[in-house]
Amino acid sequence: MSLVVRDITKAWGGFRALDGVSFEMESSGLLGIIGPNGAGKSTLFSVVSGFIAADAGSVALDGTPLDRLGPAARARAGMIRTFQVPREFHHLTVRENLMAAAPGQSGEGLLGLFLRPGRVRAEEDAIRAEADATIDFLRLARVADTPAGRLSGGQKKLVELGRALMAKPRLILLDEPFAGVNPVLIEEIMARIRDLNGRGIGFLVIEHDLDALSRLVPRLVVMDRGRVLATGTPQAVLADAAVREAYLGG
C-alpha cells in the first residue's frame, strides 16, 4: 500500500515550478520533504492533493489512480492535506471548526433538514462527539470554545491537523506544521504525529525546519528548483554533495 508520484511537471507561465518529480512512500509511513523556499514543495502538495492539475505525471494511492479526482474525492479516497497558512474559520470556535470539517453531512442541504430532521440531529451529535474526541487527543480541550482566530500559531496548526483528522484519512499531507510554532508546541505536535502514525496513519511532511523534520521522519526527499535532488535517510541526504550545495550553501 503506497502513494506513488510519477514524473509530475507543472509550469506557471514559462516557469517550471515542478520538473519531473517522482517519489514513493508507504501510505502508512512517514516521509519528509525539505528544500529551500520556492523549491516547489507546496505546489507539489497542491498537485498530489488535487487542488491544482499537473501538466504531466500521475498520482496513485494504494493502487488507485487519483489524477481525475478533485480534493474532496481524494479526501474520500483516504488522503487529505493541510495548508502552510492555516485556513481555520477565525470566528468559529475550535469545536465548530472541526465539526465543519466533517465530510458528508446530510444536514448541509435544507431539504435534508425538512425530510429527516431526526437523522440530521443524530448525525450532528455524532460529529460533535468525534470533534470532542479529536480535541481531547490534540490537548485542545481548554480552547474548544475559543474562536480559532484567537489561538497561537502552534494551536492553529493543531486545529488544522484536527480538521484533517475529521475526514478519517489514511494519509495526511502536512505543509510546514512547525513554521511559526514555539519549541514546546513543536514537540507536542511531533508527539501527536508519532502517536497517529503508530495507529497506522501515514504522514507526508513538508518542513523548513530540517532539525525538527530529521527527528520525526526516517526518510527525506530533498527538493530544489522543482526537482528531486536526493532521497534517503536524513543522515544520507545531509551528506549528499548536491544537497549541501543547494540547501546548506555548500
Q: Which of the stretches 53-61, 83-91, 144-152, 189-197 binds Mg ion when contact is defined by CB under 5 A?
A: 83-91
Q: Using the rule CB under 5 A, which residue among 42, 46, 49, 231 binds Mg ion?
A: 42
Does 40 participate in binding ligand ADP (rule CB under 6 A)?
yes
Q: How far apart are CA 196 and CA 189, in angstroms?
A: 11
The alpha carbon of residue 213 and the mean position of all alpha carbons in its chain are separated, in whole angstroms, by: 14
Please tell me the distance from the alpha carbon of residue 14 to that of residue 171, in angstroms, as a whole number: 32
Should residue 35 be labelled a site residue for ligand ADP when binding is judged by CB under 6 A?
Answer: yes
Instruction: Give the nearer residue to ligand ADP in terms of CB position, either 17 or 25.
Output: 17
Binding partner selected for residue 37 from Mg ion, ligand ADP, none, CB under the kind-specific 5 to 8 Å limit: ligand ADP
- For residue 137, what are the β-bridge partners? none
Question: Which of ligand ADP, Mg ion, none does residue 43 bind (CB under 5 to 8 Å by kind)?
Answer: ligand ADP
Residue whose CB is less far from Mg ion, 143 or 174: 174
Report which DSSP code applies to 67. Answer: T
Tell me how far, at minimum, the Cβ of 59 lies from ligand ADP, in Å.
16
Kindly write down the DSSP assignment for every residue of 142-203, as one continuous string: GGTTSBGGGS-HHHHHHHHHHHHHTT--SEEEEE-TTTT--HHHHHHHHHHHHHHHHTT-EE
Residues forming the site for ligand ADP (CB under 6 A): 12, 17, 35, 37-43
